Structure 1
Amino acid sequence: MVRQKSSNTLAQNKKARHEYFIEETIEAGIALVGTEVKSVRNGKCNLKESYGDIYNGEVFIKGMHISPYEQGNISNVESLRQRKLLLHKEQIIRLNGLVQRDGFTLVPLAMYIKNGKVKVALGICKGKSNYDKRDVLLEKAHKRDVDRAMKERNRE
């Protein structure tokens, strides 16, 4: 018996949650060719070093790696090409205004399937400094210790 994934998440950018404060998220469609969709559905994509860019009134993802489809032919495309995000004009204008603020950037957080279409969760993020990252790690450690102590206390 093969276990199915409970969610439709295809890829996640876990490092983004460590590196950035996520101010807001937005869902966007992504323009892919046929063999890319098949490869993404097989879980052959990586969001680790990717970022969003706005120019000429369009939003693109750069640095996202989608491996070529194994059964593909000459229709396979370059694995690191930039891919267009599908958003409404008003959303793009709003995103552009948010990103123009000092220190903000667009970071893809997750890629998933919704109603048979591949979607990207895009975050408007501000970079964390080293002391912020350490503070978050300390808070997690303290919370883990408290949870462990409460669990032991409830057993008694």
Structure 2
Amino acid sequence: MSMIHVTTTVNGDEVEFLCDPRETLLDVLRDRLALTGAKEGCGTGDCGACSVTVDDRLVCSCLMLGAEAEGKSIGTIEGMANGEELHPLQEKFIEYAALQCGVCTPGVLVATEALLKKNPDPTETEVRYWLAGNLCRCTGYDKIIRAVLDTAADLRKAS
């Protein structure tokens, strides 16, 4: 099978890779680009562990082909922190103990960052709705919701 050449932007950096036409974006990120934050929890788009943004749209990378990344801008958990400084959401997740085993955490963080970019003043109901595609078996969702709402309030104050 012939490989496909893809040029894309990942976390602000232009990258090129070769991939099998049947290879998922998740596999490309993990196996070809060594970005292992996104996890495969289900392989069917039901759990959200593989959440990334593509052109600022939240997607399950297990459902997108790597070849479809051509010319797109991909955002992963590895791109959230600014150098050594954690993203405010990451700080609040630590403060609120809104993470445990870590399998879902990267996807939840990417999803909530996308929510706050789209809606900087979400209600609790909106946060719960937005996270409906991200399953967490460890924390319950209360700490996650509180961390997101507190981050949103802090970001609004800072702007």
Task: State the TM-score, normalizing by the size of structure 2.
Answer: 0.28
Structure with bigger gyration radius: 1
Higher helix share: 2
Greater relative contact order structure (CA < 8 Å, 6+ sep): 1
- Per the normalisation by structure 1, the TM-score is 0.28
